[in-house]
Amino acid sequence: MTDSNPSVTPKHAFRMPKGWEAVIGLEVHAQLKTESKLFSSAPHAFGAAPNTQTTEVDVGLPGVLPVLNEKAVELALRLALALGAKVQPVSIFARKHYFYPDLPKGYQISQYEEPYCTDGAVPIELDGEARAIPLTRIHMEEDAAKNIHDDAVTGGGVTHVDLNRAGAPLVEIVSTPNIHSPEEAGAYLRSLRQILRYLEVSDADMEKGQFRCDANVSVRRAGDVKLGTRTELKNLNSFRFVERAIASEIRRQVELVEGGGKVLQQTLHWDDRSGTATPMRTKEQADDYRYFPDPDLPPLRVEPALLERIRGSLPELPHVRRARYVESFGLPSYDAAVLTEDRDVSAFFEAAVRLYGQPKTVSNWIMRDLLATTTEAGKGLSELPLTPEHLVELLKLVDAGRTTAGSAREVFAQMAKTGERPEAIMRARGLEAVSDSGELERLARTVIDANAAQVAKYRAGETKLLNFFVGQVMKASGGKADPAALREIMTRLLG
């Protein structure tokens, strides 16, 4: 999904109905970044032709056995450790039974009573305040296949099944009911997605279905301790949808209860275009999935040595990095949030600062010019031929007065696209600063001659007019006059 806002969500926009409190718990499915599926050797690359990424295991043929993907376990553990969760030394894979065309075996392999980890928390920041949303658990499970109802694809009236996704490795991250506003839910999801990406546990691209969210919502009178009856919202395909759906559901529940009605425990399908949630099914009790331990899979045992190795390889997390940028680079928290949004961008920033110092100058160039380039190109930084050395060379050309700040932006745009060195671009495009004193003096005299009235005022003591004269020469030079040399010449000629 495209969402370039920094992970720090801005001001509260939703107004909670007076006297009420909302309670929200989120269930997120994230697809693990592995080559192969959770229990088979088939790949699960996005966008492959239907039914080309399957083995006997994914199709559910009898007599085949699932084999647990070690890499998937490692990634799941990485997430658990990064979120401070408790990893269980032994966990169990269970069969969850239901009947649907997207499930060839008739059951999904998941974890139920004994998930691989419990507890932990997701750090969030909202309105400048940091807090942590505690988790109930994280478990591993295989994805279901995909039913395709789209008439354009199926030719109308039929449903096709694409088994490419069947068995893809997922983690389900379940929050405790401790989120209290749509914005807080948004902040939670942005933070979690960012952490998954920092850890390289998941690409967490919502548009590719690699990050999916269900929202459980209930309301209660302010001060009540007992939880209200919840509904579960499905089909939340973007962070904006999640926030809108939750806001709308809170209002609906409050109006319902204030009107003497009762919230039914339901699963609701959110339609963002109409802004309404329609009941899919009403559950009086938990669905009966007839869970039992999968006899084909041994219990998962996690050795302490493995945990230690993974712990040692964890990167600095985004919220820790943000704080460090404010503390040790003296950056505003807005800059810190923008720079740490993407791990590649933040590595670029740090490398440039190591070479050049001046964190705020580097930050300005990245926030203004570099991110404009990536956004415009629709590419990640790693896909551009630009290195920190490029930026630093350019900044040094500006410092040496060899090009102006204005021309440097033009050089930047070009080098970000082509990877050419800034000096070569500057020469080829004639973007060198004019620092030749003869040439500057000639331009300065022309401007002085054409502005007799301003010259008189300047000489009468209005010295702030110097900026006016410098500006005029700058314009006449096509933005290329070396500002320091020019000021000096101008002051001399006017004085």
**Nearer to ligand ADP by C-beta: 286 or 460?**
286
Cα–Cα distance for residue pair 28/204, rounded to 1 Å = 10
Q: Of residues 408-427, which lie at the interface with ligand ADP (CB under 6 A)?
A: none
Cα–Cα distance for residue pair 36/59, rounded to 1 Å = 15
CB of 75 to ligand ADP, least distance (A): 22
CB of 215 to ligand ADP, least distance (A): 8
Binding flag, residue 118, ligand ADP (CB under 6 A): no
Binding flag, residue 280, ligand ADP (CB under 6 A): no
Cα–Cα distance for residue pair 84/86, rounded to 1 Å = 7
Binding flag, residue 407, ligand ADP (CB under 6 A): no
Binding flag, residue 305, ligand ADP (CB under 6 A): no
Binding flag, residue 225, ligand ADP (CB under 6 A): no
CB of 94 to ligand ADP, least distance (A): 13
**Nearer to ligand ADP by C-beta: 83 or 440?**
83
Among 177, 209, 401, 406, binds ligand ADP (CB under 6 A): 177
**Nearer to ligand ADP by C-beta: 174 or 455?**
174
What are 73's two structure tokens?
């376990």
Binding flag, residue 176, ligand ADP (CB under 6 A): yes
Beta bridge pairs of residue 137? 118, 174
Cα–Cα distance for residue pair 16/375, rounded to 1 Å = 35
Quick check: 442 and 424 in contact, CB under 8 A?
Answer: no
- Residue 234 parent element (H or E): strand 231-236
**Nearer to ligand ADP by C-beta: 26 or 490?**
26
Quick check: 96 and 108 in contact, CB under 8 A?
Answer: yes
Binding flag, residue 403, ligand ADP (CB under 6 A): no
Binding flag, residue 175, ligand ADP (CB under 6 A): yes
CB of 152 to ligand ADP, least distance (A): 33
Quick check: 118 and 137 in contact, CB under 8 A?
Answer: yes
Quick check: 147 and 38 in contact, CB under 8 A?
Answer: no
**Nearer to ligand ADP by C-beta: 246 or 489?**
246
Q: Of residues 193-222, which lie at the interface with ligand ADP (CB under 6 A)?
A: 216-218
Binding flag, residue 286, ligand ADP (CB under 6 A): yes
Sign of the C-alpha dihedral computed for residues 150, 154, 155 and 158 taken in this order: negative
Among 6, 25, 104, 422, binds ligand ADP (CB under 6 A): 25
Among 26, 242, 415, 474, binds ligand ADP (CB under 6 A): 26
Quick check: 5 and 194 in contact, CB under 8 A?
Answer: no
Quick check: 192 and 173 in contact, CB under 8 A?
Answer: yes
Binding flag, residue 230, ligand ADP (CB under 6 A): yes
Q: How far is CA 81 from CA 178, 315, 485, in A?
A: 21, 11, 57
Closest of 220, 219, 249, 253 to residue 234, by C-alpha: 249
Cα–Cα distance for residue pair 70/116, rounded to 1 Å = 14
Q: Which stretch binds ligand ADP (CB under 6 A): 103-111, 225-233, 289-297, 322-330?
A: 225-233
Sign of the C-alpha dihedral computed for residues 280, 286, 290 and 292 taken in this order: positive
Tell me the residue nearest to ligand ADP as measured from the CB.
25
**Nearer to ligand ADP by C-beta: 118 or 340?**
118
What are 229's two structure tokens?
């009856």
Quick check: 172 and 29 in contact, CB under 8 A?
Answer: yes
Among 227, 320, 377, 424, binds ligand ADP (CB under 6 A): 227
**Nearer to ligand ADP by C-beta: 246 or 366?**
246
Binding site for ligand ADP (CB under 6 A): 23-27, 174-177, 216-218, 227-228, 230, 286
